[in-house]
Amino acid sequence: MSLRRSYTIIAPLYDALLATAGGGLRAASLAQLPQQGSQDILISGIGTGLDLPHLPPGHAYTGLDLTAAMLHRVKPRIRNLHMNLVQGNSMSLPFADECFDHVVLHLILAIVPDGRACLRETARVLKPGGSVLILDKFLKPSETAWFRRTLNLLSQHLVTRLDVVFEEVLAAVPELKSVSDTPVLGRGWFRSILLIKAGSTG
């Protein structure tokens, strides 16, 4: 089953599964965005819009998701935010180079089939000096995690991957540098990570 089909099916259940558990983690991650000013920010893999209540107003947001079913559920949450919704693929973004000041990747790098492609595309559309906010589940380098790796044989085709090692993904995108990497849940399985793209917006 493709991710587009599986996430279309689970869209009505998505909030019930994730809204309560992840609210505080999302808020803490998004608090790293500028609280004032007007910048261009991409929410890649916006899902049903669970990040929206925690976004600072005033910025120009673009929310991208693979499925129309997810984007349909975002709309009631937009309220006073300046939000443009786009259906598209996080591994092949339909945007020009260096057009965003910040990119949010919450629960997307470990969902897409190719995390390296997703992060490379993120770096491509990010302005030099811009930041990437990541919240997701990752294995540690050399971690055995046999149960998660075995379960991944099924889960990767339905909802998410359980075998992603973030350090391996980041190594493929040298222009992005890790500024902070904080364990937040599940004994370090879930991590909040801040990356910066090399260079300066001048």
pLDDT for 17-29, tens place per residue?
555 556 689 999 9
Phi, psi (rounded to 5 degrees) for 52: -60, -40
The mean predicted confidence, pLDDT, of the chain is: 85
Q: Which two tokens stand for residue 201?
A: 């917006």
Q: Are 98 and 73 in contact (CB under 8 A)?
A: no
Task: Give the CATH number, domain containing residue 97.
Answer: 3.40.50.150
Query: Is 114 part of any domain?
Result: yes
Query: Is 202 part of any domain?
Result: no
Say what the pTM is. Answer: 0.84
Query: Is 8 part of any domain?
Result: yes
- Mean pLDDT computed over 158-172: 81
What stretches of 31-114 show up as alpha helix (H) in DSSP?
Answer: 68-78
Point out which residues pair with 41 in neighbouring strands.
61, 102
What 3-state class would DSSP assign to 64? strand
Q: In terms of residue numbers, what domain contains 144?
A: 3-197
Q: Domains in the chain: how many in total?
A: 1
